[in-house]
């Protein structure tokens, strides 16, 4: 068992991010066996769940004429416009059935504000509105976060960079993540995380 100051953060292992889902990450489901085993190793385990209303502004369908995977200029910066995914209460938003959800101590839902996307488990994409996660971790004396899940180049990366900014030691288990890889975004994410002193482990 890892020491009491360490938490495992499992990002967005939901049906829509797995093969057959609305925003499928290639091989997204292949990490689940390892993630379930990791949950046995950590004293604290947090799951994140992408949780959007149907009118969410990150959906291309809510921008007239916009194609999925195009980029829009939002008040808070550039935003990729995604296919509709993880709509609250739909099967696509459920955790993948193979994920051992019962082992989780806390679930963070993110992306419920229709006006702002939220890749990170800690903040919405405007970097202003905070989730409950930092307070939950601090309240338990946790100062080291290990991250696994989907997608490496979006929600995993943004969560890792925010965790560093908040003062956590951060490890990302690359082999327990899979990437969307839009125009080289997986390699860009590796570089950005290494520059920020995130430890990348296999």
Nearest to 48 by CA among 7, 81, 10: 10
Nearest to 146 by CA among 20, 33, 34, 25: 34
Q: Is 143 a catalytic residue?
A: no
What are phi and psi for residue 44, nearest 5 degrees? -135, 135
| Residue carrying structure tokens 């990302």 | 172
Taking CB under 5 A as the binding criterion, the range among 42-50, 70-78, 134-142, 161-169 that sits at the site for Zn ion is 42-50
Query: What gap in Å lies between CA 179 and CA 22, rounded to an integer?
Result: 15
Q: How many CA atoms lie within 13 A of 46 on its CB side?
A: 25
Radius of gyration of the chain (CA): 16
Query: Which of the residues 117, 155, 162, 177 is marked catalytic?
Result: 155
User: How many residues interact with Zn ion (rule CB under 5 A)?
Assistant: 1
Query: What gap in Å lies between CA 182 and CA 190, rounded to an integer?
Result: 14
Identify what 12 binds: Zn ion, ligand VGL, none; CB under 5 to 8 Å per kind. ligand VGL
Q: Which position among 16, 29, 50, 134 is part of the footprint of Zn ion (CB under 5 A)?
A: 50
Q: Cβ of residue 141: shortest distance to ligand VGL, in angstroms?
A: 28
Identify what 29 binds: ligand VGL, Zn ion, none; CB under 5 to 8 Å per kind. none
Taking CB under 5 A as the binding criterion, the range among 38-46, 47-55, 89-97, 124-132 that sits at the site for Zn ion is 47-55
Of 82 and 123, the one with the shorter C-beta distance to ligand VGL is 82
Interface residue list for ligand VGL (CB under 6 A): 12, 17, 50, 82, 119, 150-151, 154-155
**What is the token pair recorded at 159?**
């969560």
Cα end-to-end distance, the chain, whole Å: 19
Q: Is 110 a catalytic residue?
A: yes
Of 6 and 12, the one with the shorter C-beta distance to ligand VGL is 12
Query: Which of the residues 12, 16, 84, 162 is marked catalytic?
Result: 12
Q: Is 155 a catalytic residue?
A: yes
Q: Does 12 participate in binding Zn ion (rule CB under 5 A)?
A: no
| Element of type H or E holding 200 | strand 199-201
Cβ atoms of 124 and 158 closer than 8 Å? no
Query: Which of the residues 50, 110, 134, 177 is marked catalytic?
Result: 110
Positions that interact with Zn ion (CB under 5 A) = 50
Catalytic residues: 12, 110, 155
């Amino acid at each position: 068992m890892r020491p009491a100051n360490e938490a495992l953060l499992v990002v967005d292992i939901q049906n829509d991010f797995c093969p057959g889902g609305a925003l499928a990450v290639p091989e997204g489901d292949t990490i689940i066996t390892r993630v379930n085993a990791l949950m046995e190793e950590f004293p604290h385990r947090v799951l994140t769940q992408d949780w959007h209303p149907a009118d969410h502004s990150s959906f291309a369908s809510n921008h007239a004429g916009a194609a999925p995977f195009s980029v829009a200029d939002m008040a808070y910066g550039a935003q990729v416009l995604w296919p509709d995914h993880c709509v609250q209460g739909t099967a696509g938003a459920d955790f993948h059935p193979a994920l051992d959800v019962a082992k989780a101590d806390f679930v963070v839902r993110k992306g419920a504000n229709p006006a702002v996307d939220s890749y990170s488990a800690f903040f919405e994409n405007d970097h202003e509105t905070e989730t409950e996660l930092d307070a939950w971790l601090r309240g338990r004396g946790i100062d080291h976060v290990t991250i696994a899940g989907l997608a490496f180049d979006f929600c995993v990366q943004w969560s890792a960079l925010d965790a560093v900014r908040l003062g956590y030691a951060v490890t990302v288990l690359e082999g327990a993540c899979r990437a969307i890889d839009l125009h080289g975004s997986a390699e860009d994410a590796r570089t950005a995380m290494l520059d920020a002193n995130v430890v990348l482990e296999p």
